A and B are shown apart, each in its own frame.
Chain A
Amino acid sequence: MSRRGTISRTGGPWVSAVALLLALFWVFPVYWMLNTALKPRKDVMSATPKFFPGPPSLDNFRTALTQTNFAGDLRNSVIVVGATVLVSLGLGLFAAAALTRFTFRGRRTIMISILVVQMVPPSALLIPTFLVFNKIGLLGTYLGLVLAYLALVLPFSIWVMRGFFLAVPVEVEEAGRLDGASQWQILTKILFPLVVPGAVATSIFTFITAWNDYLIAYTFMQDQNRYTLPVWLASFTTPDKGTDFASQMAASVLFSLPVVIFFLFLQRRLVSGMSAGAVKG
């Protein structure tokens, strides 16, 4: 019997061809961004599009990197987003586990509330959240920004992970209990590993959501030394003086890199390690 029993039979070369075509189509705008970033500025606009940069040039990247405070903003982004991902993972895993593997009073209310709070349009909440944070003194702090991001991602993550927890049969826990594992061990050594794919999907979502946020970071942070990378990216657009598209595209490429790296690091874990019939123990 297969161990990692999920992807045992591939669909053959036609399927791969379709997949590659789709991948090409999907990545085209990204490719266009890269293409523009590598073009010398004067080639950026032409009636007949140039699909490949004439000779590619790194000038735009150089311009981008030397623009306002790249290093500082990068550092702030890494700190804030890193913390957000870790905290939301920790909090979310336990909350989702609690909501699915246990019954207790108020469970249903809690679950529905967590879903309903996501229905309020986020743009409407910017000012009220600002006012609340101002009162508690969280403005301008890393903690405040992390909490603001948690507001965006935590409910979402809990619900998604709930789905993954639900797919784990009761028997798995019971087997563990029979083996004498404590509640804590059952959670951390048995249950959590089985929902890793769900955790990975939500972590990527959390990373991207927090990494790309501009308005909250810009409004909540009080000192330009604390601005995050999206603010750096915004500096490439000036309404009056026109936009240097090529450099803006180069900056966007640089901006997207950490996300891609983060993803590549995790992507193998997107596949469940759960094999048919195997009950760990």
Chain B
Amino acid sequence: MPKRRYLYALSAGLVATIGLTACSSGSSQGPDSPQAVPTGSKAAGKKITVWVMQDDYTDKTLNAINAQFTKETGATVDVQTQQWDGITTKITTALSTSTPPDVLDLGNTQVASFAATGGLADLTSYKKDLQQGQTWLGGLVEPATVDGKLYAVPGFAGARAVIYNKTMWQKAGVTSAPTTMSELESDLAKVRSAHTGGDFSPFYLPGQDWYVAMQFVWAAGGDLATTSGGKWTGGMSTPQAQKGLQAFKKFQNAYSSKASQTLFTDTPDQNQVFADGKTSAIVSTNGAIANIQKANPSLKNSDLGTFALPAAEGGTQPVMLGGSDWGIAAKSQNQQLALQWAKIAASPQIQNKWVFGNDGWIPNSTQATKAAGANVPALTKGFFDAALRSKATPASPQWATIEGTKDVNNFFSSIASGKQSVADAAKSFDGKLNKTLNAG
């Protein structure tokens, strides 16, 4: 459907639904001119539905957003918490009905597929207003942008950094966090000589942990796939990627247990491995610290520390930004209310006070992240440092399939375990990437 007609229909619909008169502007302007998110308080008695993924936001944060929303519009919010297992099926089927949820919390690796297939509303004309003066983090907004059009609003980010057992390191003679790869390696050597037990890993890095493995590849200048002229090309066979893969294999084999070469972070749960003292360092996201302490309450904040994984090439390794975006269903019956809700959720105030302040996430913009980094306790500073250099997965709607089939996990674990040579594994994975990313 031509963009112009869609915009007319959208705006006409908006106007018609709530009878706004003066506030909304631009319903008769061209498609490229920005529109303001409607504001108004004539929606009392209406209710919108917001789907939130379990553990993404605390109740307090959601209540704060809802309170402001109700204050501004008079409408109420029905928050539904969803489970991760089977979520793509659930969202896909829900978006196909005529009464989908209005706002959805979408993981940033999944949003591209929903955006590209017409499930989400086109928010491009509202982008400037939604940004509210901020520069959104690349890893959050790129997957939400398809063909130059915006389909979701960045919500929050999580970055991966090294969580290490400070106490254990101090006992081994390491007094400060490493800032270069060679420092890290000598630190790990010291830790290893202090722990000669059988199943101890100085640095626990499961072979399937592609989020971290990719950091090595990115640091060396490689990438998963590149696109030009609408065609995707797998990038694992490039010299840079090969260099990064070799570095990953060397690091993983040297410092993590043999058993871990073919495992993922969940069985066994690497937080538990850390909590049990079987390793002195893991790479994980902000939320892991709470889990570690739940698993072993004797590990206090003073026992732990974080730092961004240094790159052998200098600086820190680019990290894969996790996080989520707020999408609005294309068939939502309350689009303008949904827009207002999303704008509030993405607003600097909510981001600073609640998303970062209360939930501890990395906020959705570079400005807010820098500001947060200045105020963040030393313990979690590593995550914010890491987030400053971030990359995302290919913004192809088919990327979700690569993740869903676990091809990417298997690729890295076959390298770590030596089952395939780095070159061979890269060749076959590139083949899969070319086939899948360019399909449909």
Given a CB threshold of 8 Å, the question of whether A touches B is answered with yes
Interface of A toward B, CB cutoff 8 Å: 41-42, 44-47, 68, 126-127, 130-131, 134, 139, 214-215, 218-219, 222-224, 231, 234-235, 237-245
- Cβ-closest chain B residue relative to A44: B272
Q: What's the minimum C-beta distance from A57 to chain B, rounded to whole angstroms?
A: 14
- Which residues of B sit under 8 angstroms from A241, Cβ to Cβ? 55, 271, 285, 287-288, 290-291
Q: Which of B158, B269, B278 has most chain A Cβ within 10 Å?
A: B269
Q: State whether the Cβ of B85 lies closer than 8 Å to any Cβ in chain A.
A: yes
User: Which residues of chain B are near A223, meaning CB under 8 Å?
Assistant: 80
In the complex, the answer to whether A224 meets B294 with C-beta atoms within 8 Å is: no
Among B82, B86, B278, which residue has its beta carbon within 8 angstroms of that of A215? B86
Q: How far is the CA of A223 from the CA of B55 in the complex (A)?
A: 18
B283 to chain A, nearest CB (A): 13
Q: How far is the CA of A222 from the CA of B93 in the complex (A)?
A: 11
Q: Is the CB of A126 within 8 A of B54?
A: no
- Give 10 pairs: A residue, B residue, CB < 8 Å, sorted on A: A42-B276, A46-B276, A47-B198, A127-B93, A214-B85, A215-B89, A219-B90, A234-B84, A241-B271, A244-B294
Please determine whether A240 and B285 come into contact, CB atoms closer than 8 angstroms.
yes
Inter-subunit contact B89/A240 (CB<8 Å): no
Interface residues of B in 67-115 (CB under 8 A from A): 80-86, 89-90, 93-94, 96-97
Shortest distance between the CB of B107 and any CB in chain A (Å): 9
Q: Which of A41, A45, A239 contacts B266 (CB 8 A)?
A: A239
Residue of B nearest to A130 (CB): B93
Q: Is the CB of A231 within 8 A of B288?
A: no
Task: Report the count of interface residues on B (CB-CB < 8 A).
Answer: 38
> Which listed residue (B81, B84, B93, B322) contacts A219, Cβ 8 A?
B93
Cβ-neighbour of B86 out of A131, A139, A218, A244 (below 8 A): A218
Known: A45-B276, A214-B86, A235-B54. A240 touches B93 (CB 8 A): no
Q: Are A239 and B84 in contact (CB under 8 A)?
A: yes
Q: How many A-B residue pairs have CB under 8 A?
A: 83
Output the least CB separation between B418 and chain A (Å): 23
User: Roughly how many angstroms separate A94 CA and B185 CA in the complex, as a whole number?
Assistant: 73
Tell me, rounded to whole Å, the shortest Cβ–Cβ distance linking A271 to chain B.
Answer: 39
Closest Cβ of chain B: how far from A29's Cβ, in Å? 15
Report the Cα distance A238→B269, complex, angstroms. 11
Q: Which residue of A lies closest to B292 (CB)?
A: A242
Considering only CB atoms, which chain A residue lies closest to B51 in the complex?
A: A224
Cα–Cα, bound, A68→B322 (Å): 25
Contacts of B86 in A (CB 8 A): 214-215, 218-219, 234
Which of B84, B86, B198, B199 has the most chain A CB atoms inside 10 A of its CB?
B86
Contacting residues of chain B (37-84) with chain A, CB-CB under 8 angstroms: 54-55, 80-84
Q: How far is the CA of A1 from the CA of B198 in the complex (A)?
A: 68
Q: Which residues of the other chain, A, contact B82 by a CB distance below 8 angstroms?
A: 224
Query: Does B295 touch A at the CB level, under 8 Å?
Result: yes
From A41, A46, A47, A127, name the one whose CB has the most chain B CB atoms within 10 angstroms.
A41
Is the C-beta of B270 less than 8 angstroms from some C-beta in chain A?
A: yes
Task: List chain A residues, Cβ under 8 A from B265.
Answer: 242
What separation, in Å, do the CA atoms of A47 and B152 have in the docked complex?
46
Contact B275 A240, beta carbon cutoff 8 Å: no
Would you call B269 and A245 a contact (CB within 8 A)?
Answer: yes
Q: Which of A45, A238, A243 contacts B54 (CB 8 A)?
A: A238
- Does any Cβ of A come within 8 Å of B314's Cβ? no
State whether B83 touches A234 (Cβ < 8 A): yes
